[in-house]
Amino acid sequence: MRWPKLAGSPVLDSLAYVIERSRDVQTRVSRIAEVAGWMAYEELPMPDYALPLGAGENDPDWIMDFILTASCIDTAFTDFSSQVKFQVDYAGRHWSDSDALFASMKRALDEGIPILNGEFLAAVTRTEMVKRFRDVSDYDGHTVKIYKLPQLAVWFLYLSLNKTGQFPIGDLERMTAFADYIVPAALHLLGITSYSQDLEHAVRSHQLIARDSRWEIEIRAHCIYASALLAEDINKLRAPDMQIIVPQVDFRLWSHYHTTWWPHHLTRTIMY
């Protein structure tokens, strides 16, 4: 089994047992090389992330409050019954998926609702919100670490604050893909991952897949594993000054497929 050269990632390091023993999800390594053969010649920039409508551009404390609050309330953006994605119209634009969440938060702030205020948040009835960051599962007695929201929050903070040198990170290359609903679907549509007949049927027929089930863990583990290999193969084809990191591959996949009508797995969870 080929393993990514990425070293020192507690997330990736925890996945070997799952990847080696998966029953219902497989990564087609040969297909990764084929996709890298054309994706390597795309721009694949670092995302130019900006908070919606220019919110808090000059206030790093406000930016950190906004991003960390958004990470706490981040959720599935597809209605599991109708398969319709969360969408809002605000400030003359149509927003979808997580962008719609950010726009809704900005709208609330513009309307005077203090959603970033600690006293206000302390009165919110949904209890123990920070537990959503313990994105860890058990797979046949082996601890699997995914950490989607913690990594994504750090990534957003870096993109928002590093332009002014306020949030330097020296080991971004250790970050993995942010295993959610969309990136696994993108990898599957590209033919990089394959599902067993039963899992394929469950996804296409919009069946609920339980949190911490073998199916859910294998889908997310292979998302991280395949994305790391894809970034590695892309870098083999690019010049030294054009090397990328895994979150750039994640963004390429998410940005192209987050509005797709193709079904993704449905798991009720607070982890992504």
Q: Residue with structure tokens 């009508």?
A: 261
- 266 vs 110: which has the higher pLDDT: 266
Q: In a 10 Å sphere around its CB, with 0-12 CB exposed, 13-18 middle and 19+ buried, how is residue 1 labelled?
A: exposed
Q: From CA 182, how far away is CA 226, in angstroms rounded? A: 14
Q: Return mean pLDDT, the chain.
A: 90
Residue pair 96/85 in contact (Cβ under 8 Å)? The answer is: yes
Q: Examine residue 44 and state whether it is found in any structural domain, yes or no.
A: yes
Q: Examine residue 264 and state whether it is found in any structural domain, yes or no.
A: no
pLDDT at 77: 86
Q: Examine residue 269 and state whether it is found in any structural domain, yes or no.
A: no
Q: Examine residue 37 and state whether it is found in any structural domain, yes or no.
A: yes
pLDDT tens by residue, 42-60: 999 998 776 766 666 678 8
Percent of the chain with pLDDT over 70: 94
Q: Examine residue 2 and state whether it is found in any structural domain, yes or no.
A: no
Q: From CA 190, how far away is CA 58, in angstroms rounded? A: 40
Q: Tell me the pairing of strands 93-96 and 87-90.
A: antiparallel
Q: From CA 82, how far away is CA 46, in angstroms rounded? A: 34
Q: From CA 245, how far away is CA 102, in angstroms rounded? A: 25
Domain that holds residue 68: 10-257
Supply the angle between the helices 246-257 and 182-189 in degrees, to the nearest 10.
80
Q: Residue with structure tokens 């206000």?
A: 120
**Rounded mean pLDDT, 93-97:** 88
Instruction: Write out the E strands in the chain.
Output: 25-27, 87-90, 93-96, 136-139, 142-145, 193-195
Q: From CA 38, how far away is CA 24, in angstroms rounded? A: 28
pLDDT tens by residue, 106-165: 888 888 888 898 888 777 665 434 756 789 999 999 999 999 999 999 999 898 888 777
pLDDT at 131: 56
3-class DSSP assignment, residue 92: coil
The answer on pLDDT for 225 being more than 80 is: yes
**What are the angstrom distances between the C-alpha of 259 and each of 47, 86, 128, 154, 181?**
18, 10, 31, 24, 11
C-beta neighbour count of 10 within 10 angstroms: 10
User: What DSSP assignment string belongs to 169-198?
Assistant: -S-GGG-----SSHHHHHHHHTTSEEE-HH
pLDDT at 55: 61
pLDDT at 124: 65
Range list of H helices, 92-180: 98-110, 118-122, 148-161
pLDDT at 127: 47
Residue type, 210: A
pLDDT confidence band for 86 (50 / 70 / 90): confident
The two three-digit tokens of residue 270, written as one number: 């607070």
pLDDT tens by residue, 162-191: 877 788 888 999 999 999 999 999 999 999
Q: Examine residue 266 and state whether it is found in any structural domain, yes or no.
A: no
Q: Examine residue 157 and state whether it is found in any structural domain, yes or no.
A: yes
Q: Examine residue 263 and state whether it is found in any structural domain, yes or no.
A: no
- φ/ψ (deg, to 5) at 143: -75, 125
pTM attached to this predicted model:
0.84
Considering its fold, how many domains does the chain have in total? 1
